[in-house]
């Protein structure tokens, strides 16, 4: 097992904490630059519900106190930092008084389930197709079919989602139109529920795969062309190695390295990036939670979701940094 130098590890851990800290601070500052007063909005919502509100000034003051908005900014900031360490993002203003952490915790497994699976499938399919576009020994059919399939990449996910819904859900009725699971099953770790989840997740996942595999395929194609021209690939051929072995062990093995870094960045983006897909399929994930929160100007939820996105990105990059020296021996020297 290759050894990772301690200095490399320390470097990466410091980077991880700094990233999260700076991001958390920005998340706190940006809403405070906004002229919108969350207490006002809540009051407005109450007023809209009840027709009129008695003693609005008192209620506003009470609301501000509840949210801690009556305290000096610096105290608010440190309280905030203390809270986010325990994942306490306060209470949602739209679904008052549900804690933000509860909303996020409920939505996160759905998003991670759907998005992680679809992005992993996309990554594998995209890179493999990108590699086959370049490989000399690919069947001609593959070389023609892949660029044609790339057309899908230029379709916005919202359109492809609607298109898939129309064909497979509305016309053919193979898959349900919307939702994360059927109304006739109870959530739980049983067979019926699992089937229902997979059945409902298929179309949203497919719409993501169809529109994003081209990103990986095109990137991989460029990297493969470079690797194909490398001297080591030529020497591999001159050594009389089998073409398939050269493809996997010499070409893809080297070309995939930058893609893995991109993959880490995508993992963080998957929550934010597929908001619309979750929205049109009425899929109860973090994306939909964020979408609704923005419409409702529910700042605590926006903050909470943003923080989770950043944490996931930073963690994914951190993990890739840890894995990278194992897959690229040249990295081990850096920092040592």
* Interface residue list for other proteins (CB under 8 A): 230-232, 234-243, 245, 249-250, 253-254, 257, 327-330, 333
**Looking at beta carbons only, is 181 or 250 nearer to other proteins?**
250
Which residue's structure tokens are 């939505």?
107
User: 99 φ, ψ to 5°?
Assistant: -65, 145
| Helix residue spans in the chain (DSSP H) | 6-33, 38-50, 56-67, 73-85, 100-111, 117-134, 140-149, 157-164, 191-228, 231-238, 243-245, 253-273, 275-280, 286-295, 299-327
Tell the smallest beta-carbon distance from residue 259 to other proteins (Å). Answer: 14
Tell the smallest beta-carbon distance from residue 225 to other proteins (Å). Answer: 13
Tell the smallest beta-carbon distance from residue 248 to other proteins (Å). Answer: 11
Tell the smallest beta-carbon distance from residue 18 to other proteins (Å). Answer: 24
Tell the smallest beta-carbon distance from residue 254 to other proteins (Å). Answer: 6
As given in the structure block, the two tokens for residue 80 are 């905030």
Tell the smallest beta-carbon distance from residue 223 to other proteins (Å). Answer: 14
> Rounded to whole angstroms, how far apart are CA atoms 191 and 106?
21
**Looking at beta carbons only, is 199 or 253 nearer to other proteins?**
253
Tell the smallest beta-carbon distance from residue 231 to other proteins (Å). Answer: 4
**Looking at beta carbons only, is 63 or 256 nearer to other proteins?**
256
Ramachandran region, residue 55 (left: φ > 0; alpha: ψ -120 to 50; beta: rest):
left
**Looking at beta carbons only, is 88 or 230 nearer to other proteins?**
230
> Rounded to whole angstroms, how far apart are CA atoms 261 and 118?
18
> Rounded to whole angstroms, how far apart are CA atoms 75 and 253?
51
Tell the smallest beta-carbon distance from residue 121 to other proteins (Å). Answer: 25
**Looking at beta carbons only, is 171 or 239 nearer to other proteins?**
239
**Looking at beta carbons only, is 241 or 272 nearer to other proteins?**
241
Is there a contact between 207 and 164 (Cβ–Cβ < 8 Å)? yes
DSSP β-bridge partners for residue 99: 91
Is there a contact between 217 and 126 (Cβ–Cβ < 8 Å)? yes
**Looking at beta carbons only, is 93 or 233 nearer to other proteins?**
233
**Looking at beta carbons only, is 120 or 235 nearer to other proteins?**
235
User: 28 φ, ψ to 5°?
Assistant: -75, -40
Nearest to 207 by CA among 165, 247, 261: 165
């Amino acid at each position: 097992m290759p050894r990772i130098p301690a200095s490399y590890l320390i470097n990466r851990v410091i980077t991880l904490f700094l990233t999260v800290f700076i991001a958390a601070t920005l998340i706190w500052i940006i809403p405070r630059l906004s002229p919108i007063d969350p207490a006002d909005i809540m009051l407005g919502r109450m007023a809209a519900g009840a027709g009129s509100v008695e003693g609005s000034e008192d209620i506003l003051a009470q609301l501000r106190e509840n949210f801690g908005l009556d305290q000096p900014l610096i105290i608010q900031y440190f309280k905030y930092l203390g809270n986010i360490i325990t994942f306490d993002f306060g209470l949602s203003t739209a679904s008052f008084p549900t804690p933000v952490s509860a909303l996020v915790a409920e939505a996160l497994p759905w998003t991670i389930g759907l998005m992680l699976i679809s992005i992993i499938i996309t990554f594998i399919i995209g890179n493999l197709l990108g590699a086959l576009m370049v490989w000399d020994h690919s069947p001609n059919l593959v070389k023609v079919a892949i660029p044609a399939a790339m057309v899908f990449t230029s379709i916005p996910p919202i359109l492809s989602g609607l298109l898939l819904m129309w064909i497979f859900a509305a016309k053919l009725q193979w898959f349900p139109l919307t939702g994360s699971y059927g109304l006739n099953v109870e959530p739980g770790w049983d067979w019926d529920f699992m089937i229902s989840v997979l059945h409902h997740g298929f179309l949203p996942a497919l719409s993501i795969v169809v529109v994003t595999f081209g990103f990986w395929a095109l990137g991989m194609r460029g990297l493969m062309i470079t690797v194909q021209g490398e001297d080591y690939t030529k020497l591999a051929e001159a050594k009389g190695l089998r073409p398939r072995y050269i493809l996997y062990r010499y070409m893809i093995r080297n070309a995939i390295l930058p893609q893995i870094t991109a993959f880490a960045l995508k993992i963080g983006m998957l929550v934010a990036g597929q908001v619309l897909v979750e929205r049109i399929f009425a899929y109860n994930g973090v994306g939909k939670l964020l979408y609704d929160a923005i419409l409702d100007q529910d700042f605590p939820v926006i903050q909470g979701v943003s923080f989770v996105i950043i944490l996931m990105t930073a963690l994914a990059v951190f993990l890739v940094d840890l894995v990278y020296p194992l897959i690229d021996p040249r990295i081990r020297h850096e920092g040592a």
